[in-house]
A and B are shown apart, each in its own frame.
Chain A
Amino acid sequence: MTATAATKPLLALENLTCRFGGLVAVGRVSFAVQPGEIFGLLGPNGAGKTTLFNLISGITPPSGGSVHWRGKAITGLPSHRIARLGIARTFQNLRLFGSLSCLENVLVGLHKHSRQPLIPALLGNGLFRRRQGQLRQEAMALLRLLDLDPWAEHSAASLAYGDRRRLELARALATGPELLLLDEPAAGLNPREKQELSALIHRIRAQFNLSVVIIEHHVPLMMELCDRLAVLNFGERIALGTPEQVRRNPAVIEAYLGTNP
């Protein structure tokens, strides 16, 4: 049940391992994400899903194995370099820039053409203001996409919970990613918001030509949303395949979905 698609994988993990002292948080996990794919990561609490995201995004250095991006090793690169390669992420427990406005939160990530020449920046002249205006418009467009534009000037800390989740998404999109790592984007959302989220993820995948890796506990949502799924338990990959294959996998049923009492 390995990826057999003919295209070159966007992201490939090989025997990726992370040990914290004696605890193996992630043990020899391998899988590949194809361009355009929505790839799901399932697993009970403590299975190592978020640690896996931290390894991919460079927050935690791996103890072994490798991460390849478009065929090039990116294992152990610092997270700002990985972000600039085109891998953006959101955080399970929301890490917005609380004292900045929603607009500024998005502007932080918009660095593709935000470098200003020094002299116009110091003078604050017409050229500088035009460029700032362009950046503002790009940021506003992202906020509008996620229905956050009415709150553009409000501080991120003042937003409602669901809005903060969408702001994290807008901020991640601002870096111009090709791969989006979503860490429990539906956590704390009500059923209606969860449905909207699923549609939203499909929409942004199409619009930005993205691949998505998503961690989520809400199994029906994952079954509906994902092209393929990997299931982790105690840091090990116990299943990989289409939602239908994973649903019928006995190891998954035992480890994650549980057996009927």
Chain B
Amino acid sequence: MDVSLLQQMLLGALLGLSVYLPLRCGQLSLASPGFYAIGGTVAALLSTRWPALGGTGATYPISSVLLEMGLAAVLTGAIAAAIGTVVLRLRGIYLAIATIALVEILRVITLNLAITGGALGIFGIPQPFYGPEGYALFTGALLALVCWLCDRLERTRPGLAMAAIRDDELAAASQGIDTARFKLLAFVLSAVVAGITGVVAAHFLNSWNAKLGNFDASITSLAFVVFGGSRTWLGPVLGGLLLTALPEVLRPAGDLRLIVFGLVILLGPLLVPQGLVSPERLQALGRLLPRPGPFGRQAP
């Protein structure tokens, strides 16, 4: 398989996780591509305009990439905390609309600021790796780390509280759960994941422009979660990997490929409304491979 495609799939999985985190808490936020764009812009600006980050070697130092990721995480986290406090008062489709507006505002700003290169964007972002293999390894490690954190989250109290909020926010509050706090936590984590993914994507793509975080990206990344399943982290990862690969795998089908892709997106929710991965299916698998679930759940 083409390693560049694998790299794109890994980035898709990370974006899927970013959309998944608020959704697991019942919040339909489409803001992830906005934070992805912020992360990418941070990386593009820092690496092209701050010579000290470039180091002395032939390639761009990985430590500088990590530094950019750290800065992007802090920046996106802070923006999400500020915006989330206000916007998370909205529910359901209204939250989705507000977050789409956020993505559009960020896109228009990026498109019109001189510092972000206007419509052309920023070129010549330095490369920390010689080829896509290095990127795939790096992104694979990042994905593994984020998956591990999500897995721990789901097995601890915040995960249970978020699931309770998703099922019934009012009842969760009446059980003593500070719903606003957990919703904000999920929103901030989602923004941080999208932000650091944007940093990696900017280096990998070599250039960055306003088109990379737009409404299309919102819908595509939502499709990852709808297709893969929104109740356990494995769902969006699988959805992100598969749906990113599908258009490329279908390339031999020529013009038909977009039709087939559309059909898959359409049939997915019809045939598996819960998504490909659900806790029940994992439990059924778990009977074959014994593995303790949340709070050490075992077969009764």
Minimum CB–CB distance from A67 to chain B (whole Å) comes to 15
Q: Which among A76-84, A201-209, A211-219 touches the partner chain? A: A76-84
**CA A19 to CA B105, docked complex, whole Å:** 40
B57 interface residue, CB < 8 Å from A? no
Q: Assuming A111-B157, A136-B296, is B163 touching A95 (CB within 8 A)?
A: no
B173 interface residue, CB < 8 Å from A? yes
Interface residues in A79-136 by Cβ distance below 8 A to B read 79-80, 83-84, 88-89, 91, 95-101, 103-104, 107-109, 111, 114-116, 121-122, 124, 129, 132-133, 135-136
Q: Assuming A95-B168, A97-B168, A136-B295, is B163 touching A83 (CB within 8 A)?
A: no
Q: Assuming A99-B231, A121-B152, A121-B156, is B295 touching A107 (CB within 8 A)?
A: yes
A97 touches B295 (CB 8 A): no
Interface residues in B155-202 by Cβ distance below 8 A to A read 155-157, 160-161, 163-164, 166-168, 170-179
Q: Assuming A132-B295, A133-B296, is B171 touching A97 (CB within 8 A)?
A: yes
Q: Which of A59, A108, A132, A136 contacts B175 (CB 8 A)?
A: A108
A57 touches B152 (CB 8 A): no
B167 touches A124 (CB 8 A): no
Minimum CB–CB distance from B268 to chain A (whole Å) comes to 20
Q: Give how many A residues have a beta carbon under 8 Å from the other chain's beta carbons.
A: 42
B177 touches A108 (CB 8 A): yes
B167 touches A101 (CB 8 A): no
A150 interface residue, CB < 8 Å from B? yes
B286 interface residue, CB < 8 Å from A? no
A124 touches B152 (CB 8 A): yes
Q: Which of A57, A91, A101, A121 contacts B297 (CB 8 A)?
A: A101
Minimum CB–CB distance from B182 to chain A (whole Å) comes to 10
Q: Assuming A95-B171, A114-B157, is B295 touching A104 (CB within 8 A)?
A: yes
Cβ-Cβ contact count across A and B, 8 Å cutoff: 98
**CA A78 to CA B181, docked complex, whole Å:** 12
A228 interface residue, CB < 8 Å from B? no
Return chain B residues, CB-CB under 8 Å to A154. Answer: 300
A152 interface residue, CB < 8 Å from B? yes
Interface residues in B126-154 by Cβ distance below 8 A to A read 149, 152
**CA A95 to CA B164, docked complex, whole Å:** 11
B175 touches A171 (CB 8 A): yes
Q: Which of A84, A108, A115, A153 contacts B172 (CB 8 A)?
A: A108
B156 touches A116 (CB 8 A): yes
B247 interface residue, CB < 8 Å from A? no
B176 touches A153 (CB 8 A): no
B52 interface residue, CB < 8 Å from A? no
Find the B residue at minimum CB distance from A100: B163
B174 touches A59 (CB 8 A): yes
B168 touches A153 (CB 8 A): no
B294 touches A104 (CB 8 A): yes
B1 interface residue, CB < 8 Å from A? no
Minimum CB–CB distance from B232 to chain A (whole Å) comes to 11
Q: Which of A89, A99, A150, A153 contacts B174 (CB 8 A)?
A: A89
Minimum CB–CB distance from B101 to chain A (whole Å) comes to 27
Q: Assuming A78-B173, A97-B171, is B300 touching A129 (CB within 8 A)?
A: no
8 A-B pairs (CB sep. < 8 Å): A79-B174, A80-B179, A96-B171, A97-B168, A107-B160, A107-B295, A136-B295, A154-B300
Extra pairs beyond A80-B179, A109-B176, A111-B176 (20, CB < 8 Å): A59-B174, A79-B170, A79-B173, A80-B176, A83-B174, A91-B171, A100-B163, A103-B295, A104-B294, A108-B160, A108-B164, A108-B175, A122-B149, A124-B152, A124-B155, A132-B296, A153-B298, A153-B299, A171-B175, A175-B175
B residues near A (Cβ < 8 Å) are 149, 152, 155-157, 160-161, 163-164, 166-168, 170-179, 231, 294-300
